[in-house]
Amino acid sequence: MTTARDLLLVAMDVAPVRPAGQGELSLALAGAEVIDLVGTGAVALDGDLLVPGTAPAPDDPLLAEAAASLVRAAPYESVEDWLWRRGSGLAAAYSTRFEADGLIGRARHGRLPFRSAGTEPLDSPARRHATGRWAADEPVLAALGAAVGLREEPAEGFPDLPGETVVTVLAAVGDAVAELEAVRQRRSIEDAAFDNIWRAP
């Protein structure tokens, strides 16, 4: 299992503490992929730039796809740029893969925000692994979950994160999620102002 897979399974399984959407989840999934790719040696960070390594392709198909899509020529790609490029539609891509792998099926209960229409996680080793990691407050998964509103971030943050690279990626995820929300709010205000113009006597 990968961190991205665990994050999506948890997102489909728990009630969030604040509303968020597929866009935020996709950005966090892209961040989770970077963290896992760093762990396998497929990529390293030089400042905030993603520098491809020489490790073989990961076994997980979606993580292998992520590794194959890394920019392999200088000046490379920043973590922020990766999040927006790789994150586009990523939650839907993972959901499709989960359906193909038999990890999600027809829902019998009320939908949660990150579930595909009419689906929910099925009992499986993958789901049990993800929920166990979540219940144990594993720092990386907990921090990604906080970024997309699945839980509150502790006042002291997540002090047990494993290294500066992970901190850099998580900070980029947080910034991207905040930027997405700011764009969404700006559009909402602009749309409301436009509506008011047409309703004015």
Which amino acid is present at 191?
A: D
How far is the C-alpha of 55 from the C-alpha of 185, rounded, in Å? 41
Per-residue pLDDT tens digits for 131-169: 999 999 999 999 999 999 999 888 777 878 888 999 999
Q: Where are the domains of the chain?
A: 3-199
Residue that wins the pLDDT comparison between 186 and 31: 31
How far is the C-alpha of 141 from the C-alpha of 130, rounded, in Å? 9
pLDDT score for 18: 84
pLDDT score for 21: 83
pLDDT score for 102: 86
Q: Is 21 exposed, middle or buried (0-12, 13-18, 19+ CB in 10 A)?
A: middle
| pTM, to two decimals | 0.86
CB 34 within 8 A of CB 50: yes
pLDDT score for 104: 86
Per-residue pLDDT tens digits for 53-70: 988 889 999 999 999 999
Phi, psi at 123, each rounded to 5°: -65, 125
pLDDT score for 61: 93
